[in-house]
Amino acid sequence: MLPEMIGGLSPFDQIARTDEDGEHWTGRDLMPVMGYRNWEDFRRSVERARAAIVNSGESPELHASERPEASGRTTRMNYRFTRYGAYLVAMNGDPRKPEIAAAQTYFAVKTREAEAAAQLTEIEVARRYVAALEAKEAAEAQLAIAAPMVEQAKQHRAADSLTSVPDFANKLKAWALQTHGVNVKHREVWDFLGEIGFLIRGETIRHNHPTAEATRRDFVRAKETTVVRSSGRSTNEVSPRLTPAGEGRAWDKAVARIAETGALARKQVAA
């Protein structure tokens, strides 16, 4: 006679136990639910199940272990079954028993559900791993782009000395080529410094002199040098020098321009 459902639970759910090693069933609980009245008859099914476990390459001591237990003043033998072990006991039971057919159905369904859940878990773990790997690679790529800029900016702002425009141009050229594959010309750097209001450009005797505003804000300082011509005459010339603050500001603007447009020079709009 088949056991009744209680509270919507299968009789096999009702006798399932859980300990630190996980879900399991005991032989003494499982025997009557599978329709056995005699322990020896049930034991023969268990021994066939243990042989099947060995043939499948698994451990019978893991899935269908025999162990003694106290029963009143005496000791009797019992079994501890995993879901897989209980399933094989059902598969090796008396097929004429309706209880065995019910057990085979129950453990077959539960085993498939567990396998499906495990597969979904593995897929989710793999998906999260791929997402984390992509995020890590993206972060590393951004860091690789930003690192030279950050390091250069630190050097700019920490410097105690002034920087000539050619030296600034060399640093910017190297960074643009390494980071973006962009070739920057020295003339483009001079024109850019004029564009952002640091230098006076164009046909004027004050060509390449610092602007009044850049001088006021201490972004650029004028340094006079004496140049001796081939004729023997000497003249005083002014060459601009970027302060640490000015170099940092010019660097940030140049980097933003290159990152946005792919070039330092402002693109001409076709008429």
Residue 143 pLDDT greater than 70, yes or no: no
Between 253 and 231, residue with greater pLDDT: 253
φ and ψ of 159, to 5 deg: -70, 145
Chain segment 189-200, per-residue pLDDT in tens: 999 999 999 999
Of 251 and 1, the one with more pLDDT: 251
Phi-psi region of 149 (alpha: psi -120 to 50; beta: other; left: phi over 0): alpha
Of the two residues 51 and 110, the one the predictor is more confident about is: 51
Tell me what the pLDDT averaged over the chain comes to: 82
Q: Residue 138: is its pLDDT beyond 80? A: no
| Confidence band of 158 (pLDDT split at 50, 70, 90) | very low
Burial classification of residue 238, based on how many CB atoms lie within 10 Å of its CB (0-12 exposed, 13-18 middle, 19 or more buried): middle
Q: Quick check: 226 pLDDT over 60?
A: yes
Q: Is 264 helix (H, G, I), strand (E, B) or coil?
A: coil
Q: Is the pLDDT of residue 63 over 70?
A: yes
Number of Cβ within a 10 Å radius of residue 267: 8
User: With bands split at pLDDT 50, 70 and 90, how would you rate the model's confidence at 20?
Assistant: confident
Lowest mean pLDDT among 16-30, 87-101, 214-228: 214-228
Rg (CA), the chain: 42
Give the whole-angstrom CA distance, residue 174 versus residue 23.
Answer: 64
- Please tell me the predicted confidence (pLDDT) of residue 270: 45
Specify the pLDDT at position 159.
Answer: 44
Report in angstroms the alpha-carbon separations of 133 from 121, 129, 138, 145: 18, 6, 9, 18
The residue extents of the domains of the chain are: 11-124, 159-261
* In the predicted structure, residue 256 carries a pLDDT above the cut 70: yes
What mean pLDDT is predicted for residues 139-147?
64
The confidence score (pLDDT) of residue 269 equals 42
- Total-model pTM: 0.42
pLDDT > 90? residue 50:
yes
pLDDT for the residue numbered 95: 80
Query: Is residue 152 predicted with pLDDT exceeding 50?
Result: yes
**Percentage of the chain modeled with pLDDT above 70:** 78
In the predicted structure, residue 7 carries a pLDDT above the cut 60: no
* Stretch 152-167: mean pLDDT: 66
Q: Judging by beta carbons within 10 Å of its beta carbon (0-12, 13-18, 19+), is residue 227 exposed, middle or buried? A: exposed
